[in-house]
Amino acid sequence: MSGIFAEDIFLLFLIMAIGYGLGQVKVRGISLGAAGVLFTALVFGHLGYKVPKEIMDLGLVLFVYAVGLQAGPRFFRTFKKTGLRFVVIGLVTVTTGALLTVVVAYLLKIPFDLACGLYTGAMTCTPALAAAMDSMGRIASGHGASVSVGYGIAYPFSMIGVVLLIQVLPRLMRRDLSQEEAAYRHELQADQPKLFVRTYRITNPNCDGISLAQLNPRRMSAANITRVRRGEKVFMASPETLLKQGDLVMATGPLDELDKMRILLGEETQVPMDLNTNIVSVAADVTETALAGKTIGELHVWSNYGVVITRIRRQDMELAPSGKAALDMGDTLIVVGEKEAVGEFVKVVDPGKGRADQTNMLPFLLGLVLGIGVGSIPFTFSNGLEVKLGVTGGAFVFSLLLGHFGRIGSLRLYVPQAAKNFSRELGLMLFLAGAGTVAGERFVSVLQKEGWRLFGAGALVSTASVAVGLFIMFKVFRMNLLSSMGALCACMTNPPGLGAASAQTTSDQPALAYASVYPVALIFKIVIAQILVGILSRFLQG
């Protein structure tokens, strides 16, 4: 290697640029997506070029960390509802691969060290490879290199095969992705109902002459009363506002809660409520770190600022602003009130315009440090078996916790969605560029030396594991397509597959399913890979 091609950074970005461009080319609606980088890297690897391992590891850590941060806010709620399902899917899929590895290795007389590597490659699990090589070093020193060879043979087929399968799975299953997305949105609305605005005329005589504080409509309904119209005058609704029969009131909330408000107040009407041009509705981003974690009740919004919060937007969810609702960095508040009062409140919650686009780097980096540290801690069982989550596994598990709790001690984490997307996509391409050059370096020579039977054995293990996993998802648990795509990628610990799944939808359902299955599948693979070393070395050695 000479000239500009000897520069690692130039080579890295050349592979990513060519691969990304290749991945955008569609043939009959199917594209390689992120796998284009992998294909390009395979060619460069075969030609003798190599991306440093540190860059590949950095990319993988950034990818899984961004996925965990994105899925964290909903992961534990989703896992609580369907956790057993994901445990079963992960366990059955990875166990199928292990059992078939034993059978294939015995029938084809594959050396035990190559067979162990085939399993980790067929399941595309680098942490499992590291665990197998570590266990091999303790049981049969000198066989670690063969484990990595077996991994290199099986890995490309599994990695590329799953990505291509994800591309065509909607057609194979004859599922309409738009209908799947609509069903998912309906499910989300049941969990976090969409908010609406309705106007009511007070016809209930029991409401005449009493204040909103005395009426306390929130005892009956989760909707918020924001404005009152009396004659031609429109004013803000406060706890001290005295209601009169014939008044018009505007309320915000879910439809079923607004129906309760109709029963309490009176008939619905379409009379306009925007006569007072001094009353405005403004969207304000929460960028003041001191407010993160505080509830709306603690802020005393009306008494301190004279405004009303009608809704909270968090990522792609709309939340009803009850007094117990806690604010988070990046939340968007819809605030109603007189123009001057709203302006003062916006200065409090968003004192620095543009900070909503900035990442709080200290907790972001501390999360990475702690996650990598946890992944490096060995867990030793009574039989002497030592297991590690690995750098990637530790970073992913910690990112889920960080995404869920949103803080490390007193440090609040805020990462804009655009930053998460960038970290995820860049990390994925860095990883693929490194993994592709490593595999391409020995791919042809290994096939020539060991024969196509090893490639076929690895392909069989991958295919059978995928088939069993899909059967469990579709036939046993009746999962929808988007969740199945994410769960399958997690079972095969295949980040590019998740990238291909996410590219086909605007929802985060594949990422949520991936995040729910991934920790289970990863831990099972790490443990099973080390068990396989012991079993295969005992029965196949020699």
Length of the chain in residues, anyone? Answer: 542
Q: Which residues contact 22 (CB under 8 A, 6 or more apart)?
A: 32, 36, 39, 40
> Do 182 and 99 share a structural domain?
yes
> Do 260 and 304 share a structural domain?
no
Report the C-alpha gap between 247 and 76 in whole angstroms: 45
Instruction: Give the DSSP per-residue string, 28-71.
Output: TTEE-TTHHHHHHHHHHHHTT----HHHHHHHHHHHHHHHHHHH
What is the predicted pLDDT for the residue at 95? 94
Report the C-alpha gap between 375 and 501 in whole angstroms: 27
> Do 170 and 49 share a structural domain?
yes
What is the predicted pLDDT for the residue at 93? 94
What is the predicted pLDDT for the residue at 478? 87
> Do 234 and 149 share a structural domain?
no
What is the predicted pLDDT for the residue at 185? 67
Q: Which residue, 316, 332, 351, sits at the end of a domain?
A: 351
Does the residue 372 lie in any domain?
no
How many distinct structural domains can be found in the chain? Answer: 3
What is the predicted pLDDT for the residue at 281? 79
* Low-confidence spans in the chain with pLDDT less than 50: 1, 542
Does the residue 443 lie in any domain?
yes
What is the predicted pLDDT for the residue at 264? 87
What is the predicted pLDDT for the residue at 464? 94
Residue type, 460: L
Q: Which residues contact 343 (CB under 8 A, 6 or more apart)?
A: none
Helices and strands (H and E) in the chain: how many:
19, 15
Does the residue 381 lie in any domain?
no
- Tens digit of pLDDT for each residue in 359-399? 778 888 888 899 888 888 877 766 565 666 777 778 878 88
Q: Which residue, 218, 236, 266, sits at the end of a domain?
A: 266
Tokens of 140: 């049969």
Does the residue 407 lie in any domain?
no
> Residue 228's beta-bridge partner residues?
235, 249
> Do 218 and 96 share a structural domain?
no
Report the C-alpha gap between 313 and 331 in whole angstroms: 6
Domain of 239, in residue numbers: 204-266
Report the C-alpha gap between 280 and 290 in whole angstroms: 26
Report the C-alpha gap between 420 and 62 in whole angstroms: 9
> Do 238 and 98 share a structural domain?
no
> Do 210 and 339 share a structural domain?
no
C-alpha distance from residue 365 to each of 74, 203, 241, 328, 429 (Å): 22, 58, 49, 19, 21
Tokens of 489: 């990628």
> Do 327 and 253 share a structural domain?
no
- Look at phi and psi of residue 93 and say left if phi exceeds 0, alpha if psi is from -120 to 50, else beta: alpha
> Do 521 and 442 share a structural domain?
yes
What is the predicted pLDDT for the residue at 101? 93
Does the residue 86 lie in any domain?
yes
What is the predicted pLDDT for the residue at 5? 54
What is the predicted pLDDT for the residue at 541? 58
Report the C-alpha gap between 494 and 443 in whole angstroms: 19
> Do 334 and 262 share a structural domain?
no
> Do 216 and 123 share a structural domain?
no
C-alpha distance from residue 422 to each of 51, 277, 356, 430, 494 (Å): 21, 41, 16, 12, 19
Q: Which residue, 351, 369, 399, sits at the end of a domain?
A: 351
Report the C-alpha gap between 77 and 166 in whole angstroms: 26
CA pseudo-torsion sign 16, 22, 24, 29: negative
> Do 134 and 63 share a structural domain?
yes
Note the pTM of the prediction, 2 decimals.
Answer: 0.61
Per DSSP, helices labelled H in 241-360 are 255-265, 296-299, 301-305, 339-349
Tokens of 364: 């972001």
